[in-house]
């Protein structure tokens, strides 16, 4: 091994040991490098051990070393060796500082540019807050908590029902690209009517009981209930309010109204109707209505027509990871990810765009964050037990027991990847054919199809690790796919040097700005690249690059 490579490995060893044993993560804004007098050309007398550690930490841009927390003597020797080598290799630390600064600058540029474009879908201000303002078409689907109907505002020219396009497959499957465009033009809106069995008939009681459904609502979605300016959600419902994201559904109107007799109601859900509409019904006469964009199909319907090619499948998985990362960053866990709760639309090139919907089972409490106390079995752990992460499914209630949901949704994405890439979800099925998230062994997971990229296969296996500490975060997993899909020039077979990484990021930034300038931001891939640059974090990017390089059998990083 060459001397320069040995010094680089020593520098990295020192950083890892210091972060893990002494001071935690580095400063996000490292201090300026120490003056040149700290590192004179002529070697001075050997400084004492603690001073050596402090000098090395300063050169690495890390916090000062707390002497009271030094590891035992054998580990201190290894730590001092690593940090001593770092003193002899200041260029590597300087490269890392420059790369981290470049990531911060790029994020600053793209963060304000990554906001989804506002689309009122034909609704004007102060309109759309009562059911009478909509023309409601046929049923789109129903779930365990409500039914969804296609809708349009009467003021819209396309409100003529005779012009409504019919689904070419009888209404159950996905539309093709042309049919999807026609359906969106005919009925651009979808209205979800919640089934009210236990919330009472008062508006405030309904909104409080069904507050989880309002987590992805826009800022003025509730204006019709509380006047021109909606009341602060923290004071009213105690739930978080999600910021908009391209891969998260947006509720543009929410209001309470009397339950109407909609098409198919007496056949599809007669038991939840109020007694005024069905004498044997158990529902209340008033309920919550949510207005959102009408999407062509669900992920389940899309996949029923066949699986996408491996590259498109990787792009679809990436979108789910981006959506989950957005939730985790805001302290929200969906807890019911499945193909029926993911909507699909198509960009001008026909690439499927995925949107996470149905937040009725989410954890979005302002006080709890992603850690849910679990004192008894009466606590709701979420929906869809088949795709419940092992740490959630195996939790046993008791005093002081807390369930951590920070990596639960990312595990569900790993299971959904099997549906997207082809062989079917291994956690669905009857009898012994299906795996149980409470007891499966990782070696029991079936292989993914051969055409899938090796790094995609490895990533899915990591996402389905039983131990959440061994799973990558949603952000790191998304970065792995970003680098795999578009970073081949930066993640080469011969390593991943930092200057090459920075050059690649700058090229991606220039291309994204040029695409935006030319009006090409509607494509799924363009949107993903812009989102990647807007959420760029140096440490997460390095972790993703290290994973890729380890899977490819290359070294990360190779100091230059």
- Which pLDDT tens digit goes with each residue over 368-392? 889 999 999 999 999 888 999 999 9
Return the residue matching tokens 């959630």: 392
pLDDT in the model for residue 390: 96
Q: Which range, 122-126, 152-156, 470-474, has the best average confidence (pLDDT)?
A: 470-474
Q: Is residue 11 within 8 Å of 89, Cβ to Cβ?
A: yes
* 330 CA to centre of own chain: 10
Order of strands across the sheet that contains 251-258:
135-142, 146-152, 189-194, 286-293, 251-258
For 220, half-sphere exposure in the C-beta direction (CA atoms, 13 angstrom radius) is 12
pLDDT of residue 275: 93
Count of Cβ atoms closer than 10 Å to residue 431 Cβ: 5
Alpha helices in 18-72 (DSSP H): 49-60
Cα 452 from Cα 244, distance rounded (Å): 31
User: What is the model's pLDDT at position 27?
Assistant: 44
Asked whether residue 25 carries a pLDDT value surpassing 60, the answer given is: no
The pLDDT, as a whole number, for residue 8 is: 53
Residue with tokens 């050596």: 52
Tell me the mean pLDDT in the region 185-193: 89
In terms of pLDDT, which residue wins out, 423 or 282? 282
Which of 337, 385, 339 minimizes the C-alpha distance to 362? 337
211, pLDDT greater than 80: yes
Query: Which residues are designated catalytic?
Result: 336
Q: Tell me the per-residue pLDDT of 290-299, one tens digit each, with 9 for 90 and over.
A: 999 999 999 9
Which of 33-42, 356-365, 368-377 has the least mean pLDDT? 33-42
Average pLDDT over residues 162-170: 40
At residue 346 the predicted structure's pLDDT band, cuts being 50, 70 and 90, is: very high
Contact 140, 150 (CB under 8 A): yes
What integer best gives the mean pLDDT of the chain? 79
pLDDT at 78: 53
What are 527's strand-pairing partners? none
> Going from the N-terminus, what domains does the chain have, and what CATH number goes with each?
131-155+186-294 (3.30.200.20), 301-482 (1.10.510.10)
Band (170; pLDDT cuts 50, 70, 90): very low
Residue 344: pLDDT over 90: yes
Higher pLDDT residue, 470 or 82? Answer: 470
Question: What pLDDT, on the 0 to 100 scale, is given for residue 185?
Answer: 62
Question: Tokens 């009888």 sit at which residue?
Answer: 170
Three-point CA angle 417, 421, 424, nearest 5°: 75
pTM here? 0.78
Question: Do 168 and 289 meet the contact criterion of CB atoms below 8 Å apart?
Answer: no
Mean pLDDT for 306-324 is 96
Range in 160-174, 368-382, 411-425, 530-544 the model is least confident about: 160-174
Which pLDDT value is given to residue 73?
Answer: 52
Between 211 and 42, the more confident residue is 211
- The distance of Cα 483 from the centroid of its chain, to the nearest Å, equals 17
CA angle 517, 520, 524 (to 5 degrees): 135
Containing H/E element for 289? strand 286-293
Q: What are the CA-CA distances from residue 206 to residues 2, 147, 213, 220 (Å)?
A: 69, 17, 11, 18
User: What is the rounded distance in angstroms from the CA atom of residue 509 to the CA atom of residue 101?
Assistant: 15
pLDDT digits (tens, 9 = 90+) for 485-515: 988 766 655 556 677 888 888 888 888 888 8
- Which tokens go with 521? 């931001």
pLDDT at 333 over 60: yes
Section 188-202 average pLDDT: 93
Taking alpha carbons only, the member of 140, 528, 119 closest to residue 358 is 140
Return the exposure string of 194-210: e unless at least 16 CB atoms fall within 10 Å of the residue's CB, then b: bbbeebeeebebbbebb
Is residue 76's pLDDT more than 60? no
Q: How would you classify the pairing of strands 135-142 and 189-194?
A: unpaired
Concatenated DSSP letters for 219-275? TTTTHHHH-SSPPPHHHHT-B--PPP-TTB--EEEEEEEEPP--TTHHHHSGGGSBT
Structure tokens at 223: 């204006």
pLDDT of residue 230: 46
Percent of the chain with pLDDT over 90: 48
* Whole-Å CA distances, 123 to 110, 198, 241, 313, 358: 29, 31, 22, 34, 22
Where would I find the H helices in 122-195? 177-186
CA angle 222, 128, 211 (to 5 degrees): 30
Read off the pLDDT band of 549 (50, 70, 90): confident
């Amino acid at each position: 091994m060459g001397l320069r490579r040995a010094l680089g490995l020593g520098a990295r060893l020192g950083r890892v040991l210091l972060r893990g044993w002494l001071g935690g993560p580095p400063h996000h804004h490292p201090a300026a490098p120490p003056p040149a007098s700290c590192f004179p050309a002529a070697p001075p007398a050997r400084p004492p051990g603690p001073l050596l550690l402090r000098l090395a930490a300063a050169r690495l841009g890390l916090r000062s070393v707390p002497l009271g927390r030094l590891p035992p003597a054998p580990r201190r020797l290894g730590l001092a060796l690593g940090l001593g080598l770092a003193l002899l290799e200041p260029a590597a630390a300087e490269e890392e500082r420059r790369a981290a600064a470049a990531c911060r600058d790029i994020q600053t540029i793209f963060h304000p540019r990554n906001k989804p474009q506002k689309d009122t879908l034909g609704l004007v201000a102060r309109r759309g807050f009562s059911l009478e303002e909509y023309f409601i078409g046929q049923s789109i689907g129903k779930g365990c908590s409500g039914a969804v109907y296609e809708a349009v505002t009467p003021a819209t020219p396309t409100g003529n029902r005779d012009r409504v396009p019919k689904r070419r497959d009888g209404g159950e499957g996905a539309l093709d690209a042309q049919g999807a465009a026609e359906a969106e033009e005919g009925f651009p809106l979808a209205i979800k009517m919640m089934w009210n069995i236990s919330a009472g008939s008062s508006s405030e009681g309904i909104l409080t009981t069904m507050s989880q459904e309002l987590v992805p609502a826009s800022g003025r979605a509730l204006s019709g209930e509380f006047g021109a300016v909606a009341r602060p959600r923290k004071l009213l419902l105690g739930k978080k309010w999600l910021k908009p994201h391209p891969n998260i559904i947006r509720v543009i109107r929410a209001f309470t109204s009397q339950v109407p007799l909609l098409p198919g109601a007496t056949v599809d859900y007669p038991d939840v109707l109020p007694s005024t509409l069905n004498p044997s019904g158990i529902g209340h006469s008033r309920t919550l209505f949510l207005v959102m964009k009408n999407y062509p199909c669900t992920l389940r319907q899309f996949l029923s027509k066949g699986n996408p090619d491996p590259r498109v499948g990787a792009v679809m998985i990436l979108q789910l990871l981006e959506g989950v990362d957005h939730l985790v960053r805001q302290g929200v866990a969906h807890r019911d990810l499945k193909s029926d709760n993911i909507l699909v639309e198509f960009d001008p090139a026909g690439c499927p765009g995925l949107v996470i919907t149905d937040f009725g089972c989410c954890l979005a409490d302002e006080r709890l964050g992603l850690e849910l106390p679990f004192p008894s079995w009466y606590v709701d752990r979420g929906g869809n037990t088949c795709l419940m992460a092992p740490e959630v499914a195996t939790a046993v209630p008791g005093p002081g027991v807390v369930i951590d949901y920070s990596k639960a949704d990312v595990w569900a994405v790993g299971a959904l990847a099997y549906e997207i890439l082809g062989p079917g979800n291994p956690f669905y099925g009857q009898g012994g054919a299906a795996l149980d998230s409470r007891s499966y062994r990782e070696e029991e997971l079936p292989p993914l199809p051969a055409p899938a990229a090796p790094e995609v296969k490895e990533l899915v296996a990591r996402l389905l690790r039983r131990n959440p500490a061994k799973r990558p975060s949603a952000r790191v997993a998304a970065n792995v796919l970003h680098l795999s899909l578009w970073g081949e020039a930066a993640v080469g077979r011969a390593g991943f040097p930092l200057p090459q990484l920075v050059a690649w990021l700058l090229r991606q930034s220039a291309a994204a700005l040029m695409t935006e300038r030319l009006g090409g931001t509607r494509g799924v891939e363009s949107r993903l690249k812009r989102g990647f640059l807007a959420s760029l974090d140096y440490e997460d990017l390095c972790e993703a690059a290290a994973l890729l390089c380890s899977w490819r059998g290359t070294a990360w990083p190779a100091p230059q």
